[in-house]
Amino acid sequence: MKKLLVATMLMLFATSFAFAGNTITIKGSDTLVRLGQRWAEEYMKHNPDVVIQVSGGGSGTGIAALLNGTTDICEASRDMKEKEYKLAEQKGLKPHRASVALDGIAVFLNEDMPIKELSIAQLKGIYTGAITNWKEVGGPDHLIILYGRENNSGTYAFFKEHVLKGEDYAERTQTLPGTAAVVNAVSKDVNGIGYGGIAWATGVKYAAVKPDDATPGILPTVETVMSGTYPVSRELYWFFSGEPTGELKKLLDWALSEEGQKIAIDMDYIPLKK
């Protein structure tokens, strides 16, 4: 019985390798998935013998898949956690990280919300639950309705680290699957606030974010994110289970080339600094 099991597993393993020849799987961040798909389409046009499968699921999902060996490239909107690096080490992997684009995390407000700008400190207060009413930040007298992302998302982790400074989200934060769902919710809720990649925002307005009380609010745009003046911006990564070689390396180099970065701009992502 055990032999049979081992034999089947070996067979599965062998077939997965046989297919792996010219098939590249990319999995991970929902923020990056649209760009990954566009890149894959273009790359497959240039290289018809390569098949690239792109799927989302969240950065955490992608990293777990990379560690479990079920994906070649993991797209992530955050760095791997220390815990994950350790786990990779245990599994004998040396994850290779490459930045492929930039992204700003925008704060979304309903179009009818009179507030135009919020400081980082105010955002932290709002999302940790210290500030519960819009009037505390100069808005109407109404409870603030918090929308956020599920805890497997890189956006969730990034916002928690850089805006909440590691503190927990207020428990009444409604977690939604995907930035599109957050944008949809805020667009239907005058008292709602949400966050997500700026490439996603339609139907809601951005809040200008003030790094501190003295500095005027900055809107997330390609220029402000590229120059680093917009305070809530981040790098988007591709992780490999080791130094990329062969087809993987070709794909990465192409994504970072002028042509690849041009596609990123067309898709409303922000290209890497030259």
Partner 1 sequence: MDKLQFKPKSRIKEFLGEKTIAVTAFAALVAIMLIFIFIFKESLPIFHDEFVKEEASLDKMVFKQEYVEGRDPKWSWQPNSDIPKYSLLPLFIGTLKAAIIAMLFAVPLGVGAAIYSAEFASRRMREFIKPVIELLAGIPSVVLGFFALIVMATFLQNIFGFTYRLNAINAGVALGLAVIPIIFTMAEDAMTSVPQSLRDASLALGASPWQVSMTVVLPTALPGIAASIILGFGRAIGETMIVLMASGNAAVISASFTDSIRTVSATIASELAEVVFGSAHYNVLFFLGTLLFIFTFLLNMGGDIVLNRLKERFQGKIS
Interaction of residue 64 with partner 1, rule CB under 8 A: yes
Q: Which of 49, 112, 141, 171 binds partner 1 (CB under 8 A)?
A: 171
Q: Do strands 117-119 and 208-210 pair parallel, antiparallel, or not at all (unpaired)?
A: parallel
Q: By CB under 8 A, tell whether 249 contacts partner 1.
A: no
Q: How many CA atoms lie within 13 A of 139 on its CB side?
A: 24
Binding residue (CB under 8 A) for partner 1 from 15, 68, 227, 257: 68
* DSSP states of 183-202: HHHHHT-TTEEEEEEGGG--
Q: Are 62 and 74 in contact (CB under 8 A)?
A: yes
- For residue 37, count other CB atoms closer than 10 A to its CB: 17
Closest C-alpha to 73, from 112, 46, 100: 100
Q: Shortest approach of partner 1 to residue 98 CB, angstroms?
A: 22
According to CB under 8 A, which one of 60, 194, 231, 244 is a site residue for partner 1?
60
- Binding flag, residue 151, partner 1 (CB under 8 A): yes
Q: Of 110-118, 147-155, 198-206, 241-249, which segment contacts partner 1 by CB under 8 A?
A: 147-155
Binding map of partner 1 across residues 213-242, x = CB under 8 A, - = no contact: ------------------------------
CA-based nearest residue to 154, from 162, 146, 144: 162
Check residue 71 for interaction with partner 1 (CB under 8 A). no
152: contact with partner 1 by CB under 8 A: yes
Using alpha carbons, select from 103, 102, 83, 99 the residue that is nearest to residue 91.
Answer: 83
Question: Does the footprint of partner 1 cover residue 130 (CB under 8 A)?
Answer: no
d(CA 123, CA 132): 11
Contacting positions for partner 1 (CB under 8 A): 57-58, 60-61, 64, 67-68, 83-84, 87, 143, 145, 150-152, 156-157, 166, 168-169, 171-177, 185, 188-189
